[in-house]
A and B are shown apart, each in its own frame.
Chain A
């Protein structure tokens, strides 16, 4: 019998702690598939960040360094410069990367560090209980924006994939979503391309993956998926913003 579906080798055979309807699991899987496809698991170093993504080492069957909140791109810089032959990627949430870690991400990107950054944008701080994130949508209610995000008070959401694509050091920047089979297939392709940039030594690659947080959004998984399609994608368009080598 032909086996058509199996767990990627780079993922451990364990249950995740992610909430029902959370899309971290899908994004993890796509990252693992890219690693399997390039056969780089045995030379990959993952950099975990602070937030729901901190348990990277529990799910990926690879060596991992846990970074302080927001500092994953700096930790990745150190690891990659120390071991240029390794594949180094960070996996960060929106609070981590786009709030406390803006300095680290922008400078790592601007230096053109040969790393891959997977940025998961679910418009909220998940682990700490649904506070306002730098990517929280205008009008979105969170536990620290109970009247809805007011852009006069809080500024507008960061569009990181677009912002970083303006830096000369960035070789590849794309935004993806995993809310539908079609988008999953596209996301798989983009994540693979991001790793291909690093495997081929072609510079800094960035993936912004839109994701759901049903628990903190106060929705069931289907409603959350619908919100992603109806509200997030129009505001955070899915696109390739930079593909300097046309890979």
Chain B
């Protein structure tokens, strides 16, 4: 989010040296960005407080007791997760919800993932009427348990499709319920995840209908238009599991990561979810539901074509297509975010894996902006075109580029001795203090909903990372983003599917 705040100091020196036009452009860019952050902070505070107020008195038990609860399919792809698969599946099976199924997609693992599942849960292959609604690699076998205690579990064995998107599509094809939760088998979910995420779907105003055409004389059928906003997806905050205490797939104590790299990520995640997503939620402009955890309306997701296995940012790509689909059909929709952490994921701990992840994200962003360029600033797409895409194009996609070139220019100025040091320093201090403020506010907002960390030392320890971020973490992100863009432009082949997930798995196996 802050990806480009630093470009501003470069802007300052441009101001002194370059012509008025360029000066003004950069100044406006930087100023708008900073104001956008302040605005987001204010909006997210409002929306978090609204959420807390509204949900303080909600009796969540009622859905557990109710026969009217809508069904949810939990979809979790697994690739070479043999060491932890059993615990993680068990933890998914004990989610607090009355009507759900757990679909594990064995994405052509080369280890014993599948054997372990078959043995532990007494699974046998069944003749399953599988239908390919969404494109994916071939599904070879489907397993169900002979023990009725595991009735909720379905295991799908498929040919490796080199991406999570491909495996998730297979899961959607198998799923039976109207909603699906997309997660990763190595993510740890809060036990109330399904309840908390289905709630926004059920708060929707009931369908109000306007007729569009003539009645069919036989049956009275008529084209209708929905005037309510249909919730098509919900998401919640993700955090790092790295230093949490975990017992058989259950978080027993939340702690910020000890190592610096994941700790920076925890801070960044909180900022992105609490400040970013919750802020956008207020004005119905949520840009993305994270791939680690999201609940989707299956009907819309399928009509929008499901996940794109070729995409590098398949989560945002799907959300964009679902939104565009709704807009193309002139339906109103919304995407909701819940300010609670419901999912814990393993953050990369080595620079290599981290760098690969970030390059991929950046490449994904570039890809989405180019594939969906028709949406950018297109009033036909409402908020999606005019706010979400414009913002992301200007301040997410372009930011690293502006910043990178800015820094180069700055260095050039220093070398040639054309720099106005006092002004430059004031601007640097300004950008620095401002970014520290935004991050600290995000961490404060996060404390409103729930006190995840037990001791104040842990909390402050995390807050202090905001002071180091501009020097250490941020330059890395800019660098890896540029690398991602470079890969995008040169179209280099990707191999993330195997590598990234294998990377995650291996770290985790040592830990638990």
Q: A and B bound?
A: no
Hey, which bits of chain A sit against chain B, CB under 8 A?
A: none
